[in-house]
Structure 1
């Protein structure tokens, strides 16, 4: 039996309050129009449910599983900020889910929806994500409960620096302790403020630039970081479409070219994923935002759409596609691949039965709830899970961190040597081949890798290996890909814990 067709988790494991909705959906062919948000577990609970499902297929003992699942430490802070002559209390969080490998790693998001449970859930996902792609970090995550659109740039800078001060004082930031990165509502600008604040409080730390990743190039960033998560999504889906069992299950030709794609969320991840799929020959037939969507079965020009939104602030009026005022209709449209790249819990019991995509690639964190996961798999969909598919960001963050610690740009020591070696070999081959190469051909063949090319190569290799490991476990155990990826993560973390031992082992 194909792993995605394996028996689903019994409804009873979803919890008493959610059994009726799930049961109704399965017994009626996936129809449960009365399902609501209250039928769904909270995000942190959902992550725990996925963990429990995978734990049964891991090699870890019950005691080790408890250790892995629990959150190591959480910081919650409040501080005052003046706005329009009034004092506003700002709340921020940082969660360090696991310190089995240091530093902890994870983004900082600015959103009015940020809360403690969300941050803990995201930090747990980061732990499993790092493990599944063999990045030597523990999981962390942070957030500030604000809507960045309501604050000026100067106010956002003060908030960011004050939050960083809190992290410094509580030892929740540092190159070997905890390394933040961009997330929803943040970017290279905020990471630059964080790095500068850390440097001012730690002027003797020669590795201070490695306290945060996702920085601008001028501050020690790495080429390729901006598009890394979207590129990882592309590599991952490309790999899964190439698996014969996936092609058979979803009746797909296995190539990117000609594949129809719907993307939900047109932020950094959604934009770059769309760009890479488009350049690979796919048709971007739909793009969904929170208030409106666009659809064109012949394909949407991603760059034109991006420019239109930059100029007009909305998709409305875009001339080369149908503007849909009910965006969820496009999320549920016919397509080969659906890429939810927005926020968590976008596909739940309320709409899972209406999803028509053949493959769902989770570019966001936790976009599919546990109940929806079961419904989608029962209806023949293939789900490529978030902890594997959107790991491109943390992979390239790892490269940036390593670059900052080495104080050396990738390729600087080897580029010219590689080019000279290739040129000598080419001269030798030309002497025996009888046809001299043109100058353009010669330059292409001897070209030494630039930093972004090395980053792309490292990310591609990482995703290929992790996808292969996930597939192998899924096929060997007859389980779905999410459970397989999580089981692999648990086994790797358990091996790390066993290798390091405990200071209490021989007490």
Structure 2
């Protein structure tokens, strides 16, 4: 359910939305119904209650860990801390993780975790107590481990919580040489990987940028090729929305509106994202930003004139009551499930291109995969080849200078000689993954005569899972 300021409650279950999209895709897959039901079903659901002493009271904490699919191991998915956490939500998000991983060729089964608390009202010490006890419960039931199930940050969690999880795991399971790989999203000092924080937002940027390079697709919505000058609206300035906005701004796109819980700001000539963030930190609100118009109802920002709309906050924000007011030609789903099935069908008839969430926000799990590999290999990216590459480039430059009898400037030499750092390699891998995933979806859509990218993405994911099951011999 999604309820926003000055808007009505939208009676659409997030779980039902995913089920409907899966069923649409299943029509294009000639396989026995029972096998599709196996792919759709959650394999393991661990619901737990454990006591934690908070102050002078003992509180019983409700928590979950769901492993949706074991077609590949380990399972992978974030842990969220929210008072709204429930079993259906965690099961749905675990399913989405399965499909995301399949689309971008990350060898994980989908999982998700959640603890039903409000982290804003609990002290750091008590959050640590809850996190460590939750981790011990996962260990007790074999629901965490480098080759079993690897959690990551999600809503309400971050590097701090991941470091507590790693510390608890390594304390209870001493001697595990791969203990660092039991969780991703850790601080750099504890085996984290550079580029993880911005990974999802950067993946959103790469995915939309690739669409905007397609002349045929751009002609279908009456836009020119490329990002420069495209008018963009972003809803949500959390980790994903902020980084996406920054990368689009740097690429020459015009961010005309930004929306947050308290309202939105609009400037047809564009907003400087870094200045908006500075204003947000100082005032705790994006409203009253100099030179921008305030929009009290944040949902109304979705209906403004723009080329690209990026919902990066909550699910079901575009629904049957506001879909006809949406003017964007392209919608990039940075959030999970921001469009209801009813709205999806209307937008499709209008010719709007929707880049689906199960592909577009897979940047986070992609870079989590890189961190997991780094932890298993026990060496940071770039350490082995960086100096070698610099020495080889230096020799090549010397040959060029001798052959051409012309010196290359110091500034140019610095650019050419620089070896790849960890963040360069991580971003390069993420870019390649997102570009490759986009074209697999697009090619499947065209070859199978599927009407939209969402259905094509689900078909691609299901086919990859079926292929994995068949190779393992699990399916008869």
Pairwise TM-score range, normalised by the shorter structure = over 0.9
**Aligned pair 1:486/2:458, yes or no?**
yes
Contact persistence 2:299–2:317 (CA under 8 A): no
The aligned counterpart of 2:302 is: 331
Give CA-to-partner distance per residue, 1:321-343, whole Å, 9 cap, x none.
22221111112211111111112
The alpha-carbon deviation at position 357 of structure 1 amounts to 1.1
**For the residues of structure 2 that align with 1:335 and 1:78, how far apart are their CA atoms?**
47
The aligned counterpart of 2:204 is: 233
The aligned counterpart of 1:316 is: 287
**Aligned pair 1:399/2:370, yes or no?**
yes
**For the residues of structure 1 that align with 2:216 and 2:123, how far apart are their CA atoms?**
51
Q: 1:50 aligns with which of 21, 28, 31?
A: 21
The alpha-carbon deviation at position 377 of structure 1 amounts to 1.2
Contact persistence 1:259–1:283 (CA under 8 A): yes
**For the residues of structure 2 that align with 1:152 and 1:490, how far apart are their CA atoms?**
42
The aligned counterpart of 1:287 is: 258
The aligned counterpart of 2:391 is: 420
The alpha-carbon deviation at position 85 of structure 1 amounts to 3.7
SS in 2 for 1:37: coil
Q: TM-score, normalised by structure 1?
A: 0.90
**For the residues of structure 2 that align with 1:206 and 1:400, how far apart are their CA atoms?**
16
The alpha-carbon deviation at position 110 of structure 1 amounts to 1.0
Q: TM-score, normalised by structure 2?
A: 0.96
Give CA-to-partner distance per residue, 1:404-423, whole Å, 9 cap, x none.
00000001111111111111
Contact persistence 2:46–2:64 (CA under 8 A): yes
SS in 1 for 2:225: coil
Give CA-to-partner distance per residue, 1:158-181, whole Å, 9 cap, x none.
111111111111111110000011
Let me know the Cα RMSD of the aligned residues.
1.5
SS in 1 for 2:48: strand
The aligned counterpart of 2:102 is: 131
The alpha-carbon deviation at position 350 of structure 1 amounts to 2.2
Matches within 5 A, 1:166-185: 166-185=137-156
The alpha-carbon deviation at position 245 of structure 1 amounts to 2.7
Matches within 5 A, 1:238-253: 238-253=209-224
The structure, 1 or 2, with the larger RCO (C-alpha pairs under 8 Å, 6+ apart) is 1
Structure 1 residues 170 and 320, CA gap change in structure 2 (3 angstroms): farther
Long gaps (5+) in structure 2: 1-6
Contact persistence 1:59–1:491 (CA under 8 A): no
Q: 1:98 aligns with which of 47, 66, 69?
A: 69
**For the residues of structure 1 that align with 2:373 and 2:440, how far apart are their CA atoms?**
24
Contact persistence 1:36–1:349 (CA under 8 A): no
**For the residues of structure 2 that align with 1:249 and 1:239, how far apart are their CA atoms?**
15
The alpha-carbon deviation at position 84 of structure 1 amounts to 5.2
The alpha-carbon deviation at position 81 of structure 1 amounts to 3.2
**For the residues of structure 1 that align with 2:232 and 2:293, how far apart are their CA atoms?**
16
